Amino acid sequence: MRALRLALLVLAAPACALVVGLEDKERAGADASDGAASAEGGASAVETLATQQDQPTSLALDATHVYWVNEGGQLRRRAKGPTAVPETMAQGLATPRWIAVDGQYAFWAATNAPQVKNDAGAPARQIIVGRVDKTRPNQPEEIYGGDYNGNVRLLALFDGYGASGSDAASASDGFIFTVFSQSSNNDAVRRYARTGNSNETNLAQNQDGVSALAADETRLYWAVRQTRELRARLKDGNVQPDRLATLPDIATDLAVDPAFVYALLANGAVYRVDKSRPDSLERVTQAPAGGQRLAVDDARVYFTIGIDGDANGKVYTALKSPGGDPPTLLASFQGEPRGVAVEQDPLTRKKSVYFVARSEGSVKRVALP
């Protein structure tokens, strides 16, 4: 069995020395002005890893780096050490909002909104779904492109359960998954090969507004905005999706462990459903409304709360077991917190939660109390 990987989502990847010209203001350091507190009232320092990142929205981890995309058109990363600085991996992208990584690549999905125009004023072809090799920065490669305006959203891949506490039955399946909006409330769930050039494969069509997407070693999961259904299907073969559950509210993000699918809802609740038992919906916890992004590890869920324009966004954690116990507050007074991920140090066994604060333009982390 493969050794348990402790970084969320990805296999360990070798560090690569990159030369970039950045000012000292982007260096790591604790920011004492950031608020964080546990439910019991204790304080935890929130460390700011990068600033002035032009509205970061999503992040991912491997063993050595934290990666993120920002709406200014960049994919960046930073080593986790205390004195590292951010490095640009790709730039000039068409409003990237979603990111995922595996052992070789960082992937992104972009909306191309507002639509990029060429010198003649006509729509310009852009990389909408792309990748960049971790060892070859600033050489982005197209997986799917076009001159579309806002048609692609969400991004998922499976590369093992990582911090969820169990090895996967198999490692990477070689695919990434995204959603293509063909028209209003008419979404297609698509699959692409991670390497080489290939056409998309439609796994499900006529989905009434897909709001969240996740993958495990055998299946793909998504939430439908209109019906509030949680659906699943095999990642290969000509099969129809199954309904796993009907959620109480719109799901804003999904996460998986070996046994369950977890859903963060717009109303701030986290639910889970057993993968093998449809309609086995259980509430895990309830936070204030404004659910954004979700992550899981072997024992807990982690999620961000904060509507657009909110200067008091929050980062929470809760035990994965059902019961609806109040969540623990990890950070407050964060400007529009969005993407979140968790890792466990292989030596100390201590856990750190990473997140982005969109309106602040910051990438941060906080230690689990």
SS3 216: coil
Is 286 part of a structural domain of the chain? yes
Whether the predicted pLDDT of 340 surpasses 80: yes
Whether the predicted pLDDT of 193 surpasses 70: yes
What Cα–Cα distance (Å) separates residue 104 from each residue in 44, 116, 133, 195, 220? 34, 29, 6, 10, 22
Is 6 part of a structural domain of the chain? no
d(CA 75, CA 127): 13
Look at residue 369 in the predicted model and tell me its pLDDT.
Answer: 85
pLDDT, one tens digit per residue, over 219-253 is: 999 999 999 999 999 998 889 999 999 999 999 99
Summary mean pLDDT of the chain: 86
Look at residue 23 in the predicted model and tell me its pLDDT.
Answer: 34
Mean pLDDT over 299-306 rounds to: 97
151 band by pLDDT with thresholds 50, 70 and 90: confident
Mean pLDDT over 123-148 rounds to: 94
Whether the predicted pLDDT of 109 surpasses 90: yes
**CATH number reported for the structural domain that contains residue 45 in this entry:** 2.120.10.30
Look at residue 171 in the predicted model and tell me its pLDDT.
Answer: 55
Is 360 part of a structural domain of the chain? yes
Radius of gyration over every alpha carbon of the chain, rounded to an integer in angstroms: 19
**Helix, strand, coil % in the chain, rounded to nearest 5:** 0, 50, 50
H/E segment holding residue 296:
strand 291-296
Q: Which residue has the higher pLDDT, 150 or 120?
A: 120
Torsion of CA 135, 139, 141, 147, to 10 degrees: 150
Q: Which are the contacts of 51, defined by CB distance < 8 A and separation ≥ 6?
A: 25, 26, 360, 361, 362
29 band by pLDDT with thresholds 50, 70 and 90: very low
Look at residue 249 in the predicted model and tell me its pLDDT.
Answer: 98
Q: Where are the alpha helices (DSSP H) in the chain?
A: none
Is 10 part of a structural domain of the chain? no
Mean pLDDT over 353-361 rounds to: 97
d(CA 298, CA 304): 18
Is 18 part of a structural domain of the chain? no
Is 19 part of a structural domain of the chain? no
Is 12 part of a structural domain of the chain? no
* Helices (runs of H) and strands (runs of E) counted in the chain: 0, 29
Domain extent, residue 231, equals 24-367
Is 70 part of a structural domain of the chain? yes
Q: How many domains does the chain have?
A: 1
* Sheet architecture: strand order including 201-207: 152-156, 175-183, 186-193, 201-207
